[in-house]
Chain A
Amino acid sequence: MTQQRFTFPRWTNLALPAIIIVGVTTPLYIAVVVAYGFSPQATDVGYMPEQPIPFSHQLHAGELGLDCRYCHNTVEETAHAAIPPTETCMNCHAQIHPQSENLQPLYESYTTGNPIEWVRVHDLAQYSYFDHSAHVTRGVSCVECHGRVDTMEVVYQKETLSMGWCLQCHRNPDPHVRNPNLVTQLDWGLDMSAAERIADSASWRKLNNLNPSQDCSTCHR
């Protein structure tokens, strides 16, 4: 009995070019997916959680021009910029909009004493110890990390808050520094040219002798 000889079908000629093409594109594809998909720009930026009360920063901080510190009053003293207690809202809302449906969680919180369960938007990795007071009192404006909150109807995360992003500013602080009295004026400096802004930043940095540290232990301890 003669064994029939096996001949590779004609299309197997394409195997070699196919292997080369797949071999080149697959690593490239994986690199693109990891670099773009795993970056905080994809995973963190644009996080816009729904809050228990549809509080509008655009109205309160933008239109009414309340200073950031009216509510986040611990920001100059402590590491954590506190979410205001219900009492702070009640300073005005005891009289304003008492029958609003949107504000019912506020009045419920005020009568029961249970806190309103606000959702944290900016959530740093817990091995980094960021200190708001250290930045704000030295002239790093809220806007540098949080964006134009005074134009946000719903607050979202604007920047990556990654270590590389922090270091960018720590290595080259200009033009991110300003007069410490202007830190809460989020729209300040928009009419300045880039060169003017850098010069202003550099002068304040020199005046206050700011040399941001790049030591690991500054943020990780």
Chain B
Amino acid sequence: MTNLIKQIIDDLMKPVFEDLRATPLWIKWVVIVITCAATIPLALIFRSRTSYSDKPKIHFIQNMDNQPKFVSQEPNALFLDGRAMRPKIKGTIAQDGMAGNTHKFMGIIDGAWADTYPPSLTVDRDFIRRGQERFNIYCAPCHGIGGFGDGIIHKRATQLVETGVNGTSWVAPKNLHEEVVREQPVGQLFNSITNGIRTMAAYGSQIPVDDRWAIISYMEALQVSQNANPDSVEGANALPHKDSSNEGSGE
């Protein structure tokens, strides 16, 4: 049976092989070269689908992928500074900006630090929650989640100072539970966040005004958490607690 099949195939293929043998060499080479060349695009496609490249993207069909307009943060040679987005002109404010409301925008009432939150903001649970979220984003890297001045950037910078890499210097971020910070009026805290203080940079352009006030409300909540008066909790004195007068006596 297998012999029969072999026989049939041989009979069928025999003339084909003879045809092939009679084919001129140049035709064979043309076929070989074209077949090999056809694998090159396939290899290139495989490479571009599987590897990273810093070459600009190629869009074969452009459609309107790139239009003669300027999108956010694009360069524009028309202006001297090369920016398409125009910086705010010095001395201008947005329509909903300050307009005399020094309390909200500077933390100042009648030339003194404000002791209260701006009346346009309601300090409630949601507001403090918002402040917590913002605090964890913008403040916690240095001041730490708990506000003790032990954030991860502080730890990293301390390491870098010890190893003396690239001239790193570092002033430890403030522990927000220190009395000097605790006693500051909210207006002064607002000013520190907005304009920076000592080595801390200004966050006024990075955090919107309302969020800055929210952060302060959360900061105050944090401070209360670390300096709570036991009398504020009902029946707290009935609970077993560490006697602070024994502290340091070696017991």
Contacts and interface: CB of A to CB of B under 8 A. Distances in A.
A14 B22 CA distance: 10
Interface size class on chain A is 35 or more
Given A37-B41, A87-B201, A69 B167 contact: no
Interface size class on chain B is 35 or more
Contacts of A199: none
A168 interface: no
A189 interface: no
Given A10-B18, A10-B22, A46-B48, A98 B166 contact: yes
**Main SS at interface, chain B:** loop
Contacts of A94: 199, 201
A49 B22 CA distance: 55
B82 A115 contact: yes
Nearest to B23: A11
A94 B202 CA distance: 12
Contacts of A96: 153, 156-157, 160, 168, 170
B112 interface: no
A125 B65 contact: yes
B83 interface: yes
**Of listed A37, A48, A83, A117, residue having the most chain B CB within 10 A:** A37
B38 to A, nearest CB: 6
B137 interface: yes
Contacts of A66: 141
B45 A181 contact: no
Interface of B: 15-16, 18-20, 22-24, 27, 38, 41-42, 44-45, 48-54, 56-61, 63-67, 69, 71-73, 75, 81-83, 133, 136-138, 141, 152-153, 156-157, 160, 165-171, 199, 201-203, 205-208
Given A10-B18, A97-B166, 17 more contacts: A10-B19, A11-B23, A33-B41, A37-B41, A43-B48, A47-B52, A48-B54, A70-B141, A87-B201, A87-B206, A95-B157, A96-B170, A97-B160, A98-B169, A113-B81, A123-B57, A181-B133
Interface of A: 9-11, 13-14, 17, 29, 32-33, 36-38, 41-50, 64-67, 69-70, 73, 77, 79-80, 82-83, 85, 87-88, 90-92, 94-100, 103, 113-115, 117, 123, 125-127, 156, 181
